[in-house]
Amino acid sequence: MSEKVPMTPEGQTRLREEMKRLKEAELPQVIKDIGTAREHGDLSENAEYHAARERQGMIIARITYIEQTLSRAEVIDPSKIHSDKVQFGAKLVLSNVDTGEEARYQIVGPEEANLNEGRISVASPLARAMLGHFVGDEVKVRLPVGERLYEILELSYG
């Protein structure tokens, strides 16, 4: 579990903010909720108590996971990368060769990936296929929905 986790400075900041929120707001609140539920008597039939304990376990597990991830973080600042080939941190404009549909993505660490925001994990099939290619290259990508052919229209960092 000592493998480095690539992430952008923004991703590292988001994780630290989440951990702070969990430790300073959510965990104290759930501990308070457990105390309140405990006051209601018989714990064996107290659904509020069991729900609060379960939530506490989930919060502690997430805090532990974030701490481990941050300890293994390899922070890579895309704004300091000057390359004409696709690598971690790249912002891409891709065109589906068959449909002409364009999509914008940034290749980020697994913890930062959010398809709705256009951030894809460096470990995803699409990102792995793009790595090492250049603007103008057509890249065949094997996706869960089948093979697709994309052309890299634009590439930038930062």
pLDDT at residue number 9 = 96
pLDDT at residue number 37 = 86
Same domain for 66 and 87? no
Same domain for 36 and 57? yes
Element (H, E) at 27: helix 27-38
pLDDT at residue number 39 = 85
> Alpha-carbon distance 26 to 19, whole Å?
10
DSSP-based three-state secondary structure for 119: strand
Last residue of a domain, one of 37, 58, 75: 75
Last residue of a domain, one of 44, 75, 106: 75
pLDDT at residue number 141 = 95
CB atoms within 10 A of CB 40: 12
Same domain for 69 and 86? no
For β-strands 146-156 and 91-96, DSSP reports them as antiparallel
Domain count, the chain: 2
> Alpha-carbon distance 47 to 147, whole Å?
49
For β-strands 102-108 and 91-96, DSSP reports them as antiparallel
Same domain for 71 and 97? no
What does pLDDT average to in each consecutive run of 10 residues of the chain (158 residues)? 86 96 97 89 80 96 97 94 95 96 96 95 96 97 92 94
Range of 30's domain?
5-75
pLDDT at residue number 143 = 86
pLDDT at residue number 106 = 97
> Alpha-carbon distance 108 to 111, whole Å?
8
